Amino acid sequence: MKRIFGFLLIILLLIVIAGTAAIFFFKFESTPPQVSAKIPQVAGKKFKISFQAGDEQNGLRKIVVLITQGKLKKNVFAETYPVSALKGSPVKERSYELEILADKLGLREGEAQVSILAWDGSWSGGLKGNLVEKSQKVRIDLTPPRIIPLSFTHNIRQGGANLVVFKLEEPVSRQGVVFGKHFFKGYPTGDGVYVCYIALPYNLRNPGRLAIQARDLAGNESEIPLNFRARPMRFKKDRINISDRFLTRKMPEFLQRYPQYSSDRLIEVFLKVNRELRAENNRQIREICTQSVAERLWKGAFLRLPRSATRSTFADHRYYYYRGRKIDEQYHLGIDLASVAHAPVPAANTGKVVFANYLGIYGNTVIIDHGQGLFSMYSHLSSLNVSPGQKVNKGEIIGHTGMTGLAGGDHLHYAMLVQGIFVDPLQWWDSHWIDVHIESKLQGIHGEN
């Protein structure tokens, strides 16, 4: 009996020793918490630090975030979590995003260090837990970027375009020109010089302001206002009579492609096409023209369709009548040119084809990117000779005139756009206008003439 009791006592003792050893092994583990962080390399007056800390075994005991610069040491975040002697911390993971105000902390320009420290709920480190520290150097930049205007005359008419040239003395994350409610991106040309084509929409008489804006890598922002003169325009009014013959001839083309516009009355189909599809097509065009190559691809005045007559002008205010009653009104955002049927259409200038397909009211359409936000558009074509991604030279045949889309007869609808805003093509056909408003501002910059 004594032997059995002694044997059981030994077993019990061994179990206690093993259990105690397991607890000590678990609580004195040496694996520190895991910390990942997103800390900017350059920071301005206000910046963010985001981080995540976790420990699956004993949980998190404490997290501290410090910012040091020279003798300055600031505790910007500290959080402690409850820890059980045996179970550790129930907090296994935490994520945070901190907004740091440099001036409030007393930070000055120069190098600083951000340190994230995290302790786990183990008994290691003198019962304080395993510690991990993640540190990163940060350059504090509190000076807004310096903007140097290089163009000083910015006369522009309603529906027209112009060029702003400026220089920046440091790398930036965002730059361009704000004109009214529109922001136009600038394109770098080297040595910190940027060119930015701007446009005054046909339906905006007073844009309010013109200013160059820049934001540096630290988030500091600058703005320099520019002098300008906006000249209002009176655009032509045009009456277009819609006949039943036109509806019978043209609406089946749209019903086949856009069955959602179906109706018992063809005039209702026309109204949906003229309003809803037109708006959607113009949205698509703006989207296409948001991306442009950074280099200037064009040179000299843009070509007009050879031996053609002007049938409609830019921004004509069109009033549509059916059986003597006004049913709709829209603006014509291009110039209609008529020549012989199926006339060859040349690329108005050198560029890259970014669209060549059917485009609703515009029918078969080609859009060419001429670089730095400038585009030309050719619509109602009977055939397409080019495809997206193809480079075309000035004068190269890209298709033939036709009457696809909402065209009543064979002609070319020609349009120009600046960063998605339609502008009057007349200016771009005029070599004198280009010399005065574009080339003169580039003389002496990188040897451009």
For residue 422, give the H/E element and its range: strand 421-423
Each residue's pLDDT tens digit, 25-76: 444 587 999 999 999 999 999 999 999 999 998 999 999 999 999 999 999 9
Query: Is-contact 57 28, C-beta < 8 A?
Result: no
CA distances, 125 to each of 27, 258, 348 (Å): 11, 72, 75
Angstrom distance (rounded) from CA 352 to CA 391: 4
To 10 degrees, the CA torsion angle through 147, 153, 154, 160? Answer: -140
pLDDT of residue 445: 72
| CATH fold for the domain made of 237-418 | Glucose Permease (Domain IIA) (2.70.70)
Angstrom distance (rounded) from CA 297 to CA 349: 8
Q: For the chain, what percent of residues have pLDDT higher than 90?
A: 87
- Which residue, chain included where needed, has tokens 């069109």? 318
Angstrom distance (rounded) from CA 119 to CA 78: 12
pLDDT band at 125 (very low <50, low <70, confident <90, very high): confident
Is the per-residue pLDDT at 12 higher than 80? no
Is the per-residue pLDDT at 399 higher than 70? yes
Query: Which residue ranges does the chain devote to CATH 2.60.40.10?
Result: 147-232
Start-to-end CA distance of the chain, whole Å, equals 113
The CATH number of domain 32-140, selected from 3.10.580.10, 3.40.50.720, 2.60.40.730, 3.50.50.60 = 2.60.40.730
pLDDT of residue 320: 98
Residues facing residue 164 across a β-bridge: 196
Q: Look up residue 6 and give its two tokens.
A: 């002694």
Query: Which residue ranges does the chain devote to CATH 2.60.40.730?
Result: 32-140
CA atoms within 13 A on the CB side of 28: 7
The amino acid sitting at 315 is A
Angstrom distance (rounded) from CA 111 to CA 84: 40
pLDDT band at 84 (very low <50, low <70, confident <90, very high): confident
More confident residue, 446 or 339: 339
C-alpha 321 chain-centroid distance: 40
CA-closest candidate to residue 139, choices 80, 67, 187, 59: 67
Query: Is-contact 270 249, C-beta < 8 A?
Result: no
Residues facing residue 138 across a β-bridge: 112
Query: Is-contact 33 86, C-beta < 8 A?
Result: no
Query: Which residue ranges does the chain devote to CATH 2.70.70.10?
Result: 237-418
* Over residues 154-183, mean pLDDT: 97
pLDDT band at 446 (very low <50, low <70, confident <90, very high): low
- Return mean pLDDT, the chain: 93
CA-closest candidate to residue 288, choices 202, 381, 388, 167: 388
The CATH number of domain 147-232, selected from 2.60.40.10, 3.90.105.10, 3.40.640.10, 3.40.50.720 = 2.60.40.10
Angstrom distance (rounded) from CA 385 to CA 345: 10
Each residue's pLDDT tens digit, 184-233: 999 999 999 999 999 999 999 889 899 999 999 999 999 999 999 999 99
Cβ-based burial of 242 (10 A; exposed 0-12, middle 13-18, buried ≥19): buried
* Over residues 253-272, mean pLDDT: 96
